[in-house]
């Protein structure tokens, strides 16, 4: 497919998030990378060598770059507000990494900045843009299977033991699995349900004093009309639920054998937070290459949706339908651009031919559920949601 007017895209932050979207940014016809902003000289140089264009040292310079129509903000969570405000004021449309922000006040400010400037804002790419999730949402919305009543989403990963910047281990600064991981599950279940979330009750786990932030949670979210979703996550690097996803990793790659305990083992070689942050930046753009194109769709762990007339199980290759009398399978072929749906959504939004559900207000509503999980775990009982 060729597109005559791809969105001229700038990127703010050439770290891990950018690396994971890079396989798509390299091949997707809906966007052309024309500029970046990055504080590190090596990253800017690597960008210029691969894409040409303009490599800026500040967000302000990126916001003032006339070659840029839209910017993918892939800087740390706590910077999203400042960067979105500067870019919106510069008239740039925005694709901002999840979570939209850390505090609800910052989320409000981002929504306000985008609206004041009249720019579009998409929150993503979260796993709600995965091909299988979008296919399942479309199948549920068709009504063929009856009302969605219950979603069960679970994921066991090594999230907490991947190398981290210090603030990623501090909940107050947006660290821990609630802001970085629960937000994926929240986006996914909201999209699959297609209904307003009402209340949340949750408990969280903060079990490792050396990494003193939430590493696990279980949450129950109620939806309009009595539907509900259970969300469970552990990032404590023991069980790996990718074994329930046909041995396919979150990024759609076959999981290599013999790598059990790899992240914990790697951490044994660092002794200070600074060394750990260096280990993280050593895995980003300009230092190592991005993963190759994935043969399967990305996923966020086992997810089953119970509707009146069928249970739908999401797999890395499509949707299993466990109906009343028969089972069937609806495939979602892997795309050479694994994150095509979010880039296509950005294109349609900027060109005025459609908008995804995952807008600025959507991102704020998902962030509210993150805060509700923390609040419920802290105070006990149900938290009623207001921004949905």
Ligand X SMILES: NC(=O)c1ccc[n+]([C@@H]2O[C@H](COP(=O)([O-])OP(=O)(O)OC[C@H]3O[C@@H](n4cnc5c(N)ncnc54)[C@H](O)[C@@H]3O)[C@@H](O)[C@H]2O)c1
What are 21's two structure tokens?
């979207």
Q: Which residue is nearest to ligand X (CB)?
A: 15
Compute CA distances 49 → 44, 52, 53, 183, 285, whole Å: 9, 6, 9, 34, 12
Site for ligand X in 186-225 (CB under 6 A): none
Q: Site for ligand X (CB under 6 A): which residue of 171, 232, 234, 284? A: 284
CB of 37 to ligand X, least distance (A): 4
Site for ligand X in 120-179 (CB under 6 A): 125, 165
Q: Site for ligand X (CB under 6 A): which residue of 7, 9, 10, 12? A: 12
The size of the interface with ligand X (CB under 6 A), counted in residues, is 24
Per CB under 6 A, which region of 6-14, 238-246, 252-260, 310-318 contacts ligand X? 6-14
Q: Site for ligand X (CB under 6 A): which residue of 6, 7, 10, 15? A: 15
- Stated as kind and residue range, the H or E segment containing 3 is none
Residue whose C-alpha is closest to residue 229's, from 216, 237, 220:
220
Closer to ligand X by Cβ: residue 125 or 318: 125
Strand 327-331: give its sheet, edge to edge. Answer: 327-331, 318-323, 310-315, 303-307, 148-156, 228-234, 216-223, 197-205, 383-384
For residue 14, state whether it binds ligand X (rule: CB under 6 A): yes
What count of Cα atoms within 13 Å lies in the side-chain half-sphere of residue 329?
7
Phi, psi at 206, each rounded to 5°: -135, 85
SS3 178: helix
Site for ligand X in 22-81 (CB under 6 A): 37-40, 59, 74-77, 79
Closer to ligand X by Cβ: residue 30 or 165: 165
Q: Site for ligand X (CB under 6 A): which residue of 131, 180, 253, 297? A: 180
- Stated as kind and residue range, the H or E segment containing 207 is none
Closer to ligand X by Cβ: residue 12 or 94: 12
Site for ligand X in 102-131 (CB under 6 A): 125
- CA pair distance 209, 173, nearest whole angstrom: 17
Contact predicate 227/196, CB 8 Å: no
CB of 96 to ligand X, least distance (A): 8
Contact residues for ligand X, defined by CB under 6 A: 12-17, 20, 37-40, 59, 74-77, 79, 97-98, 125, 165, 180, 280, 284
């Amino acid at each position: 497919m060729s597109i005559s007017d791809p969105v001229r895209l700038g990127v703010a932050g050439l770290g891990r998030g950018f690396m994971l979207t890079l396989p798509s940014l390299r091949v997707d016809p809906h966007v052309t990378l024309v500029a970046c902003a990055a504080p590190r000289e090596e990253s800017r140089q690597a960008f210029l060598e691969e894409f040409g264009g303009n490599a800026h040292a500040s967000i302000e310079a990126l916001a003032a770059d006339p070659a840029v129509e839209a910017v993918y903000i892939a800087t740390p969570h706590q910077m999203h507000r400042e960067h979105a405000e500067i870019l919106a004021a510069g008239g740039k449309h925005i694709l901002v990494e999840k979570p939209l922000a850390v505090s609800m006040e910052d989320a409000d400010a981002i929504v306000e900045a985008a609206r004041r400037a009249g720019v579009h804002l998409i929150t993503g790419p979260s796993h709600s843009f995965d091909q299988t999730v979008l296919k399942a949402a479309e199948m549920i919305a068709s009504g063929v299977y009856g009302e969605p009543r219950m979603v069960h989403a679970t994921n066991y990963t090594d999230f907490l033991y991947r190398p981290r910047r210090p603030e990623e281990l501090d909940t107050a600064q947006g660290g821990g699995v609630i802001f970085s991981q629960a937000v994926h599950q929240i986006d996914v279940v909201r999209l699959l349900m297609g209904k307003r979330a009402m209340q949340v009750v949750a408990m969280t786990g903060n079990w490792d004093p050396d990494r003193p932030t939430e590493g696990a949670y279980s949450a129950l979210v109620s939806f309009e009309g009595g539907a509900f979703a259970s969300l469970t996550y552990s990032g404590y690097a023991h069980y790996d639920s990718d074994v329930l996803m046909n041995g396919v990793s979150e990024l759609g790659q076959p999981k290599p054998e013999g790598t059990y305990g790899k992240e914990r083992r790697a951490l044994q070689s660092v002794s200070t937070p600074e060394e750990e942050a260096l280990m993280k930046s050593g895995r980003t753009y300009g230092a190592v290459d991005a993963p190759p194109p994935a043969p399967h769709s990305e996923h966020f762990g086992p997810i089953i949706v119970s509707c009146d007339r069928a249970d739908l199980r999401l797999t890395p290759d499509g949707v299993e339908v466990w109906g009343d009398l028969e089972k069937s399978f609806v495939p979602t072929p892997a795309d050479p651009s694994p994150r095509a749906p979010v880039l296509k959504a950005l294109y349609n939004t900027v060109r005025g031919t459609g908008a995804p559900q995952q807008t600025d207000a959507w991102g704020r509503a998902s962030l509210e559920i993150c805060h509700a999980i923390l609040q419920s775990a802290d105070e006990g009982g149900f938290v009623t949601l207001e921004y949905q």
